[in-house]
A = this chain, B = another copy of it.
């Protein structure tokens, strides 16, 4: 699974915990232990999909604009990782009936798999994740 997806969940969870102030990419990056530029790239996708707003300049950063209870993991998946389930099969041998057709067959199957996965991911919202994090035994 694409790690943009989990980074997006991580970031939105942090933002949901600080709904009243901007969080910088540096602060989020320190929580997730990745480079701030990577956070900005992922959050740029989320901004383009309207989940968050960003502000440049001093005191700027990112802030959650939607209700975390309304944002499902499927919404996030679609924004950051759509198609990630598809296997990148190498070009097979067109001279063979299996090689020639396997790609299309697998493509159809994995399209269905992604839709099916969607039904599962729709059950979880960022609010749920925030609650899970708060209720974990080894909490902060």
Q: Which residues on A are within 8 Å of B, measured CB to CB?
A: 1-3, 5-6, 9-10, 13-14, 17, 30-34, 73, 85-93, 95-102, 104-106, 108-110, 112-113, 116-117, 119-121, 124, 129, 132-134, 136, 138-140
Contacts and interface: CB of A to CB of B under 8 A. Distances in A.
Nearest to A91: B33
Nearest to A130: B98
Given A31-B93, A32-B93, A1 B110 contact: yes
B120 A105 contact: no
A9 B139 contact: no
A33 B14 CA distance: 45
Contacts of A138: 100-101, 104
Given A113-B120, A116-B117, 15 more contacts: A1-B87, A3-B89, A6-B89, A6-B102, A17-B98, A31-B96, A31-B98, A33-B92, A33-B93, A101-B136, A101-B138, A105-B133, A108-B132, A113-B121, A116-B120
B132 A101 contact: yes
A117 B91 CA distance: 26
Contact of A102 (B9, B99, B112): B9
B139 A86 contact: no
A86 to B, nearest CB: 7
